[in-house]
Amino acid sequence: MAAILKDSLRTIQTYRTSSPHYTDLLDILEEILILREEFRRRMKREVFPVEEKLVAAKMAGGLPLVDFSSLSCELLEPKEYFLALLEIAEKRNPGETAEIARKIRDGEILFNDLIYESFNPPLPDEEEAVEDEADASFDLVELFIEESLRPALEQVVARHGDAVAKSGWSEGYCPICGREPKIGEIRDEEGTRYLFCNQCGFEWSFLRIKCPFCGNEEQQTLAYFTVEEDEQRRVDVCNACKRYIKIVDFRETNQKADLDVEDIATLHLDMLANDEGYD
């Protein structure tokens, strides 16, 4: 993992030069990756144990290995990591997240509830009411809520990833944690499309001509666009459900894709997709 971190930091440095407008975000990502490695090394307990005998059955049934529809396990390590992540934001905007951290430490905000809500968002009419009541500063920590589970979920990937990769999983959501992908890549001679889960770091192969969100396979309603002089990065869009996913293709340059970094370095594609009416 230390070697992967070094590669990621080198990639970040490269993008600081080529995409200086993303410097602040890349600086934050660099701190996150270093902190992630620290907590990964410190984590001794298995936060999300998965019974080996259930893996095949879950994969066959389209069920992720970790079930976030209910949370009964203790999330002490992710909570500690989350509080450390909040300090990254606090250094840049003093006072923005200190109160959230205090409420979590004092039990006024339950960390398990934050995680549950991130996987089980309220229905559209409920969401409006929640937004009216919520503190605006919560918007600043959505990334950290997602990231807080990464070291613990990487344990699941390390233990069961090989079995999952051989299972023939064909769903558009992550087989480890159930999160929808934001980015993916094209690789190998066959041009296989792989989807990447920012939540746990797992990649799985998925059909090129299929929407991972609604399952649409009608070629006429599936398309993609690129920006001028950057055809290595594109946006796959579905005109049936109006969703999109970013895709990188470094086969010509033999560059290894670091999708954590690429997700930040391609934020302009997110903005373009949103401008075109895709979510």
135 part of a folded domain: yes
Q: Are strands 192-196 and 183-187 parallel, antiparallel or unpaired?
A: antiparallel
Residues 50 and 97 placed together within one structural domain of the fold: yes
Query: For residue 266, what are the domain limits?
Result: 170-275
In this predicted structure, what is the pLDDT of residue 162?
97
Could you give the CA distance from residue 108 to residue 23 in angstroms, rounded to a whole number? 35
Asked if 177 and 171 count as a contact pair (C-beta separation under 8 A), the reply is no
224 part of a folded domain: yes
Tens digit of pLDDT for each residue in 202-255?
A: 999 999 999 999 999 999 999 999 998 888 999 999 999 999 999 999 999 888
Could you give the CA distance from residue 154 to residue 166 in angstroms, rounded to a whole number? 18
Looking up residue 207, the CATH number of its domain turns out to be 3.90.1670.10
Q: Average pLDDT, stretch 78-102?
A: 92
Name the domain count of the chain.
Answer: 2
Taking each helix axis from N to C end, the angle separating 76-92 and 23-42, rounded to the nearest 10 degrees, works out to 150
pLDDT, mean over the chain: 91
Residues 123 and 228 placed together within one structural domain of the fold: no
| 139: pLDDT strictly greater than 60 | no
Tens digit of pLDDT for each residue in 64-85?
A: 999 999 888 889 999 999 999 9
Confidence of residue 132 (pLDDT cuts 50, 70, 90): very low
Residue with tokens 């594109």: 234
Q: What is the pTM for the complete model shown?
A: 0.92
| Largest Cα–Cα separation, the chain | 54
Residues in the chain: 279
Residues 128 and 206 placed together within one structural domain of the fold: no
Asked if 43 and 151 count as a contact pair (C-beta separation under 8 A), the reply is yes
Q: Is 62 left (phi over 0), alpha (psi -120 to 50) or beta?
A: left
First to last CA, the chain: 33
In this predicted structure, what is the pLDDT of residue 70?
86
Residue with tokens 């001679």: 189
In this predicted structure, what is the pLDDT of residue 104?
95
Confidence of residue 123 (pLDDT cuts 50, 70, 90): low
More confident: 4 or 55: 55
Could you give the CA distance from residue 12 to residue 23 in angstroms, rounded to a whole number? 9
